[in-house]
Structure formats: C-alpha cells, structure tokens
C-alpha cells in the first residue's frame, strides 16, 4: 500500500484547507464543499522525509543555517534532470528573511 492509498481525515486538526473554509468563504457550513483552493496535501509524508526530520530534531539546536554546496548542487541537478533546465550555481540565492 502506498501513501496515496491511505485516506487521512484532516477535519478538526487546524487544517487551513479543511477547517478554515467557513471563514474564508463566509459560510455557516462548508461540510459539502471539496476544498481545492489551497495546495495542501492529504497524505502522509514519505517515511524517509519523516525520519530525516526526526533526526534533525534530535540535535535540539535550531540555529540559522547556510545553504551548503551540496544543497545548491542538488537544486542544479534536480532542475537539470527533471526539467532539462541548466542553471548556474551562482544564480541560486539563499534568502534569510
């Protein structure tokens, strides 16, 4: 079973997609509306992503980070592989505000 085969109920979880429709649209009841107004996901993150976040959280120090050469290269490689878009590393800017 893949993550896309699981139904995850997100109502009453402070989900903007599911729990803010009445406020966004000024309705009293939006329970019969299929919310497609926000790019929110209704499936669990892949296990590898959850594990990586947990490992990072275990460090317990959450200071500011810089954009590593490996991270920049991964962006260049991703764009090249997925979109056949060749970009220079110098064209990638890291904004901290």
User: pLDDT tens digits, residue range 21-68?
Assistant: 888 888 898 888 888 888 888 888 889 999 999 999 999 988 888 889
| One domain for residues 1 and 48 | yes
Burial (CB count <10 Å: 0-12, 13-18, 19+), residue 51? exposed
pLDDT for 97: 63
- pLDDT on residue 95: 82
Co-location of 6 and 35 in the same domain: yes
Same domain, 44 and 54: yes
Cβ count near 76 (within 10 Å): 16
Confidence (pLDDT) at 64 = 83
* pLDDT at position 1 over 90: no
Cα–Cα distance measured from residue 85 to residue 97, given in angstroms and rounded to the nearest whole number = 27
- The domain containing residue 14 runs over which residues? 1-63
Same domain? 19 vs 55: yes
**Together in a domain, 31 and 73:** no
The count of domains in the chain is: 2
Mean pLDDT, the chain, integer: 89
Say what the pLDDT of residue 25 is: 86
Q: Are residues 58 and 71 in the same domain?
A: no
**Domain containing 29 — which CATH number?**
3.90.1150.10
Same domain, 59 and 81: no
């Amino acid at each position: 079973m893949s993550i896309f085969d699981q139904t995850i109920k997100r109502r009453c979880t402070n989900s903007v997609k599911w729990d803010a429709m009445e406020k966004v649209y000024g309705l009293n009841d939006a329970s019969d509306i299929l919310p497609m107004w926000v790019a929110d996901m209704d499936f669990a993150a892949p296990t590898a992503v959850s594990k990586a976040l947990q490992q990072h959280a275990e460090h317990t120090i959450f200071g500011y980070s810089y954009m590593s050469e490996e991270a920049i290269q991964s962006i260049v490689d991703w764009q090249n592989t997925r979109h056949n878009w060749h970009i220079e590393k110098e064209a990638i800017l890291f904004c901290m505000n």
